[in-house]
């Protein structure tokens, strides 16, 4: 198979790659990363992480016991975060459609798309089984939210570009890992914590796959990749942003220490940017240099916003503690 040379783009100052060219050029990297992933990833069974002995019937055809908030072993912030995290996982059909459309279903790309989808599917399975069996959340509300969220579907802000999509998931997979891990820590239930730690391990492996792929893209098309990373970082949104009540839930998760500006800056954006040395890459054309500068300025500004959030969070938590003791 032959591939046409990348066309020259004066604005980028270097040859510009089409999506088709990049997909072909990155195929060997995808195969290498896929083989590494399959070697490292460990098989695990979702049913082993669910406390089935705690389960009992709900109202309806089986005439079970109605759900009450006091039945939950999970903290208030844990319940909020678990619902957001599960609803995010629920839109897997839309995510699969999008990456299958962008990356294709053939060769190493296709093998990865299907493997990733299968692994992500386990996350939704185990989370829902845990939530219902342990009665951690209102089952009726959870199902209504699922129907509403999935009925809307999902379209990424980056569906227009394969390169933007790779850049996005390099950060988003890490963000998801952090959100799951912090939810487990704040859940108040060791069973929940153990389950989410297992999920977070998968998400970290997914992040490494996409991060390494993004690194290869920087070597092939540095200006285009820099522009894509700039666009993704400055406009980043979590995939659950369209779910019912997301803004309110996200605000409570931020104050509760699940996911906020400080975590986003320090634990998600910075690690990927540092690992790939994005702000140190040389040999860029005019567009790449401009994007690199914009990215650096944005990160500085985000750090400042995070400091202000830290102050507000500390004040809110101190006020809550004072009210609790009063």
How much is the pLDDT for 322? 81
Give how far the C-alpha of residue 178 lies from the chain's centroid of Cα atoms, to the nearest Å: 9
Residue 12 confidence (pLDDT) above 60: no
pLDDT of 123? 97
Mean pLDDT of the 82-86 span:
94
Q: Does 219 count as an annotated binding residue?
A: no
For 64-76, what is each residue's pLDDT tens digit? Answer: 999 999 999 999 9
143 in a labelled binding site: no
Calpha distance 128→233 (Å, rounded): 31
**DSSP codes of every residue in 43-104:** ---GGGGS-GGG--PPSSTT--PPP-GGG--S-HHHHHHHHHHHHHHHTHHHHHHHHHHHH-
State the Cα–Cα distance between residues 177 and 94, nearest whole angstrom.
20
Q: What is the dihedral of CA 205, 206, 212, 217, to 10 degrees?
A: 180
Q: Is 120 annotated as a binding residue?
A: yes
Q: Is the pLDDT of residue 87 over 60?
A: yes
CATH number of 26-49+71-320: 1.10.620.20
Residue 4, pLDDT > 70, answer no
Q: Beta strands of the chain (E only): which ranges?
A: 7-9, 14-16
The CA distance from 233 to 170, in Å, is 11
The pLDDT tens digits for 139-186 are 999 999 999 988 887 777 888 899 999 999 999 999 999 999 999 999
CA angle at 43 for the pair 37 and 46, rounded to the nearest 5°:
125
Best CA proximity match to 16, nearest among 220, 233, 294, 276? 220
Q: Per the annotation, does 203 bind a ligand? A: yes
Q: For the segment 88-117, what is each residue's pLDDT rounded down to a tens digit?
A: 999 888 889 889 988 988 899 999 999 999
Is there a binding annotation on residue 33?
Answer: no
Report which of 33, 196, 54 is spatially closest to residue 103, judged by C-alpha positions.
Answer: 33
Between 267 and 238, where is the model more confident? 267
Domain borders along the chain are 26-49+71-320
Q: Would you say 265 and 200 are in contact if contact means Cβ atoms under 8 Å apart?
A: no
70, 259, 149, 152 alpha-carbon torsion, rounded to 10°: 170
269-290 pLDDT, tens digit per residue, is 999 999 999 999 999 999 999 9
Per-residue pLDDT, 308: 93
Residue range 209-266, pLDDT digits in tens: 999 999 999 999 999 999 999 999 999 988 877 787 888 999 999 999 999 999 999 9
Residue 206 among known ligand-binding residues: yes
Question: Alpha-carbon distance 230 to 291, whole Å?
Answer: 6
CA 80 to CA 107: how far, in whole Å?
40
Question: Alpha carbon of 131 to those of 74, 192, 280: distances in Å?
Answer: 10, 9, 45
What is the β-pairing status of strands 14-16 and 7-9? antiparallel
CB atoms within 10 A of CB 274: 11
Which among 68, 83, 12 is positioned nearest to 230, based on CA atoms? 12
Return the pLDDT at 15: 64
Q: Is the pLDDT assigned to residue 7 strictly greater than 50?
A: no
Assign 323 a pLDDT band (cuts: 50, 70, 90).
confident
pLDDT for residue 240: 75
Summarize the confidence of residues 290-299 as an average pLDDT: 97
Distance of alpha carbon 89 from the chain centroid: 9
């Amino acid at each position: 198979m032959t591939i046409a040379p990348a066309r020259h783009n004066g604005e980028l100052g270097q040859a510009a790659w089409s999506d088709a060219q990049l997909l072909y050029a990155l195929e060997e990297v995808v195969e290498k990363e896929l083989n590494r992933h399959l070697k490292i990833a460990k098989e695990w069974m979702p049913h082993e992480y669910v406390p089935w002995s705690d389960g009992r019937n709900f109202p309806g055809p089986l005439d079970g016991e109605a759900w009450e908030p006091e039945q939950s072993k999970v903290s208030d912030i844990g319940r909020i975060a678990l619902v957001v995290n599960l609803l995010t996982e629920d839109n897997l059909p839309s995510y699969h459609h999008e990456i299958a459309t962008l990356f294709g279903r053939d060769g190493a790309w296709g093998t990865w798309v299907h493997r990733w989808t299968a692994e992500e599917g386990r996350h939704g399975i185990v989370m829902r089984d845990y939530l219902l069996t342990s009665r951690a959340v209102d089952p009726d509300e959870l199902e209504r939210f699922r129907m509403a969220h999935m009925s809307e579907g999902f379209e990424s802000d980056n569906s227009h570009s394969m390169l933007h999509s790779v850049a996005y998931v390099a950060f988003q997979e890490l963000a998801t890992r952090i959100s799951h891990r912090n939810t487990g820590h704040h859940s108040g239930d060791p069973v929940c914590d153990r389950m989410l730690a297992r999920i977070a391990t998968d998400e970290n492996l997914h992040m490494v796959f996409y991060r390494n792929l993004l690194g290869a893209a920087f070597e092939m098309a540095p200006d285009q990749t820099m522009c894509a990373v700039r666009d993704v970082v400055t406009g980043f949104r979590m995939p659950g942003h369209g779910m019912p009540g997301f803004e309110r839930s996200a605000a409570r998760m931020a104050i509760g220490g699940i996911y906020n500006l400080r975590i986003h800056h320090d634990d998600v954006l910075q690690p990927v940017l540092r690992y790939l040395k994005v702000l140190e890459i040389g040999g860029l054309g005019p567009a790449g240099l401009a994007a690199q500068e914009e990215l650096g300025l944005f990160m500085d500004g985000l750090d400042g916003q995070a400091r202000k959030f830290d102050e507000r969070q500390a004040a809110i938590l101190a006020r809550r503690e004072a009210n609790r003791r009063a």
